[in-house]
Amino acid sequence: MKKLVLPAMLLLTSICTFAKTKEKDKVMNPLLTNWSTPYQTPPFELFKPEHFVPAFKDIIERSKKQVDKIVASKDEPTFENTVVALERGGEELEKVANVFFNLNSAETSPELQAVAREVAPMLSDFSNDINLNAGLFAKVKKVYDNRSRLKLTPEQGMLLEKTFKGFVRSGANLDPKSKERYREITKQLSELSLQFEENLLAETNGFVLNITNEADLAGIPESIREMAKSIAQSKNMEGWAFDLSMPSFVSFMKYAENRDLREKLFRAYNMRGFQKNKYDNQEILIKTANLRLEEAKLLGYNTYADFVLEERMAQSPAKVNGLLTQLLNASVPAGKKEVEEVTAFAKESGANFEIQRWDWAFYSEKLKDKKYSVNDELIRPYFPLEKVREGVFALVNKLYGITFKSNASIPVYNKDVEAYEVFDKDGKFLSVLFMDYFPRASKSGGAWMTNYRSQFKENGKDVRPVVSLVFNFTKPTETRPALLNFNELETFLHEFGHGLHGMFANSTYSSLSGTNVYRDFVELPSQIMENWAVEKEFLDMFAGHYQTGEKIPQELVNKIKESANFQAGYVSLRQLSFGLLDMAWHSQASAYNGSVVDFERAATKATDILPAVDGTAISPAFAHIFSGGYAAGYYGYKWAEVLDADAYSLFKKKGIFDAKTAQSFRENILSKGGTEHPMKLYIKFRGQEPSIDALLERSGLKN
């Protein structure tokens, strides 16, 4: 997933800063200096929490004065002196905000979290000061109304349209009383988003399953035991420890024979934000959903989903629900058969109980091993992180000709982060790339791509991006390197696809660059990369045993491919349940103040093929929609699956390493950003609109 850096309200329009920083402030605050690091990357070691609030205040103060000058100017408003001025003016604020919000997600601390709580409403107020400035909007509107006579390029036309719509969708046409209420709503939403994420991180870090009796580790492979021992040692505990980070949690659920402990860990993970303690997220998420609804109604929409989807490929809730229903109808029969199969297998294995959600991964893994003779522990030795990284580098070199060079002189924010220079096939510098691999208490869960600097062009110079990929992979132990499972390989490829979208950016304007595209289009570059994970020709390029160097056996590669669609129905239904839940929260036409559990069970009922678990809930930990940028947009993963399956079918037809097809994908998708409507870009690449058939066929769900 692409991780949002700025609070959502700041993404609605660019901000202005023109005045030069005072010399004395430059000396005192490293955030306000011109960085002398390689490629002007952030000098992380110089930044302290106390630097951020003064830096934001300084930039905002100077920016307001410059906006006042624009509004007071007697010059006729033009595309350059108004729209481009707004676009270019946000560079200093974006520079500081990117550093701050990225650190708050990947390397946070109580001090940074306190800064975030102070800064969020400050930035919300400033964003509203811009968006609700009647004089400024009048100038933008005048340029917009004259657009047919301006002879703009397609990219300039898109910037003008997005700037104008950004003002309108941020309340510029509201009456004074409604504008004030809009200000209050956006400020509250920014604060609630931060609190939701802080609570979730605290709940995730707050639980540890400490095991001191080795008998309780029955079924758990040695590599996972080593990881658990390492976690215990890091927490000054005896024995072994399992936490709620994905490598630890998922491994225990797959392998632990102790059913009671599986249930305990499952409940801990699925009760995050739902324990009626100081970290409870129920009230926060209900307030968030209701405030979003109120915001949408203020702006003239029936629901928040109507508001959001107006600026998406899907365009309307009806189209989203139509896609979800179509996929649901294809997935339910398969999912039910898979439950029957796992249930029968569990009974054959001696289970004398109804299969519960904490049993699913355990028996599914054993069934998969029985059917295909393949499991994570067979695969892991061939996927050491270093080799996977080399393999992904080799893949994109084969497709696009780009190369990567490690550079230890580029500052990083944590010792585990690696920095690379990326060069194009002609040897020109393309991007800086950070990669941050392992879980830690200061990092949010999941995986994401983000920018410390987006690409743009100014005064004849192409300013290249600084891209960051953040993961939570299985950590190395005292005796083993980091060995990835197959899902982690897919995650690496997924986020690298987002990274390519950022690294190949070739736009004039930052706000249209790279991943600044419709939310239901942004997952195409990432999800298409996952297709190579099951291709023998790709795996043969890098997969070798970490101890012997032996190439991954052909038989194992075949089994990986054969098992690719194992439980495709269940996997599809799980993803659809998230999409349906998101749409339900954001399709309300009236405020909701009832039970979170009742609401979500009604929303996901059609996808439920396993018994519900009392005391657990999805919504209080659903960070994508309550503290990220996927509200009324989680369906985008399934939408983009349709796109990526259809797009990859062209690679399958032409050759999975076909340079001509890759170049077309780069030119028409990866480099264009948001400069044109995504469907136009897709058709330029594919020659036709996407069809759902390729996805159903790839997933084995077509019939």
| The residue count for the chain | 703
**What is the C-alpha to C-alpha distance for residues 224 and 486, in angstroms, rounded to an integer?**
15
User: What is residue 700's predicted lDDT score, i.e. its pLDDT?
Assistant: 86
pLDDT of residue 652: 96
Whether 585 contacts 619, CB under 8 Å: yes
Buried b (16+ CB within 10 A) or exposed e, 656-680: bbbeebbebbbebbbbbbbbbebee
CA distance 392 to 387: 9
Judge whether 348 and 355 are in contact, CB under 8 Å: no
Q: How many CB atoms lie within 10 A of CB 61?
A: 12
pLDDT at residue 27, as a whole number: 57
Separation between Cα atoms, residue 605 and residue 617, nearest integer Å: 13
Instruction: Give the C-alpha separation, 432 to 437, whole Å.
Output: 16
CA-closest candidate to residue 221, choices 437, 345, 365, 388: 365
Determine which one of 94, 295, 338, 495 is catalytic. 495
The CA distance from 19 to 278, in Å, is 43
User: What are the strands, taking DSSP E only, across 454-599?
Assistant: 456-458, 461-463, 466-470
Task: Output helix, strand, coil percentages for the chain, rounded to the nearest 5.
Answer: 60, 5, 35
> Which residue(s) pair with 242 in the sheet?
209
* Domains defined along the chain, listed by start: 8-170 (1.10.1370.40), 208-259 (no CATH), 381-564 (1.10.1370.40)
Q: Can you say whether the dihedral through the CA atoms of 209, 213, 218, 222 is positive or negative?
A: positive
What are the helix and strand counts (H, E) for the chain? Answer: 28, 9
Cα–Cα nearest to 572, from 207, 326, 298? 326
Helix axis angle for 222-234 and 246-255, nearest 10°, is 140
495 is annotated as an active-site residue: yes
pLDDT for the residue 300: 98
Up-side HSE of residue 119: CA atoms within 13 Å toward CB? 28
Inter-residue contact 527 to 684 (CB < 8 Å): no
Structure tokens at 298: 């203020």
Q: What is the pLDDT of residue 9?
A: 30
Take residue 444 and report the two structure tokens written for it. 């949010």
Cα gap 633→309, rounded to integer Å: 8
Q: pLDDT at position 10, please? A: 35
| Residue from 347, 207, 345 nearest 266 by CA | 207
- Residue 15 has a pLDDT of 25
What pLDDT digit, counting tens, does each position of 128-162 carry?
Answer: 999 999 999 999 999 999 999 999 999 999 999 99
What's at 178, amino acid-wise? Answer: S
Regions in the chain scoring below 70 on pLDDT: 1-27, 703
End-to-end CA distance of the chain: 30
> What is the pLDDT, as a whole number, of residue 703?
64
Picking from 378, 380, 339, the residue whose alpha carbon sits closest to that of residue 360 is 339
474 Cβ contact partners less than 8 Å away, ≥ 6 residues apart: 227, 247, 251, 380, 482, 483, 484, 485, 488
Q: For the chain, how big is the Rg over CA atoms in Å?
A: 25
Helix (H) or strand (E) holding 42: none
Phi and psi, residue 2, nearest 5°: -85, 125
Element (H, E) at 436: strand 429-436
Q: Pairing between strand 429-436 and 466-470?
A: parallel
- Return the pLDDT at 91: 87
Q: What is the rounded CA–CA span in Å between residue 439 and residue 471?
A: 7
> Which are the contacts of 388, defined by CB distance < 8 A and separation ≥ 6?
484, 489, 492, 542
Q: What are φ and ψ of residue 411, in 5° steps?
A: -60, 145
Tokens 């609630």 -> residue: 192
